[in-house]
Amino acid sequence: MQQYLQCGRYRLPVNTPEARPLVMGILNVTPDSFSDGGKFHALEFALSHAEQMIADGVDIIDIGGESSRPGSPALSLQEELDRVMPAIYALRDCGKPLSIDTYKPAVMREAIAAGADLINDINGFRGAGALEAVSDSDCGLCIMHMQADPQTMQSRPEYQDVVAEVSAFLSERVTLMELAGVARNRISIDPGFGFGKTLAHNVALLQSIGEIQHRLDLPLLAGISRKSMLGELTGKPVERRLAGSLAAALAAVAQGARIVRVHDVAETVDALTVWHAAQISKAICL
C-alpha cells in the first residue's frame, strides 16, 4: 500500500511508521443530523466548530450538507449547494484538507472548483456522471459501500457473506475508477458501517478491517462514531456514546484502519496518540 493519500493540495500519510492514524472530523451543516441535531447548521457556528477541530488536532474536515441517517429524505441539489459552498469558501485556506460528503456529481464539481481536497461519496461514485466529475481532478476519493439508499437501507439488510460482498463491491468500484484514469494513490475505501447493515454485519466488518484492506491494498476509512451499532452494544443514547466511539476507533485502527471519521476530535486524537506511541514503543522493543 502506498505511503501517502493524494488529496488535492495535500499528501496525507496513511502508511508511515512515524504518523498516527488520521482523524477526519465531521462538520455537519444540516438541520437534521442524527448526532448533533443541527447544532452547526448556521455558518457562523459551523466555522467556530471547524476552528475548534483544528485546534484539537484534526487531520481532515469532512463537510456534509445532507443527512444520511436511516430514513432521511433526499435533499435538492440547490439546497445542498446553499449549505456546503459557503463553508467550503470560508474554510478552503484553513490549512487542513477539506472533504465533501456528497453523492451528487454537480456538488462534486462545484466543490472541487472551490478548493475541496477530497470527495467522500456514500454511494461509491455510482451516480450518473460521478466518475466523470472527479476523474480529471487531483482530489482524493473515498469509495463507500451502502446497500440500498438512506431511505430504505435499514429495512431488511441481507448478505450471504457481508465481508466478501462488501470487499467485492469496493474492488469493482476501484477497478472502474482506475479504468477512468484515477490514480490509485487518490483512492481510499470505506466499508460503510451502519449503511444497510445489521449489528452482526457491522461487527463482522469491524473484525475484518485488516482482511478488507489487505484484499484491496488501499487505505481504509472507518466511520463508526456515535452510530446506532454502538447504541445497540452499550444501550446508551447518542449523546452518551463517547466511550463507545473511542473504543470503536481504537478497535478499527488496531485492525488496520488508516483514517477514522469522528465527531469527538480532541478525545480521538488523544486516544490515537497514546495508542500510536504504544505501537511505536512495541516495534522498537521487538
Q: Which residues are catalytic?
A: 227, 261
Rg for the chain, CA atoms, rounded: 17
Distances (CA, A) of 226 to 36, 229, 230, 246: 10, 8, 6, 9
Give the residue from 189, 217, 218 showing the smallest Cα distance to 205: 189
**Grid cell of 230 as nine digits:** 454502538
Cell 484492506 appears where?
213
DSSP 93: T
- Count of H-run helices and E-run strands, the chain: 10, 10
Give the 3-state secondary structure of 72-87. CCCCCHHHHHHHHHHH
Distances (CA, A) of 6 to 9, 122, 149, 280: 8, 19, 29, 25
Element (H, E) at 171: helix 162-179
Type of residue at 88: I
Q: How far apart are CA 87 and CA 50, in angstroms?
A: 10
Q: How far apart are CA 81 and CA 70, in angstroms?
A: 22
3-state secondary structure of 185: helix
Q: How far apart are CA 177 and CA 174, in angstroms?
A: 5
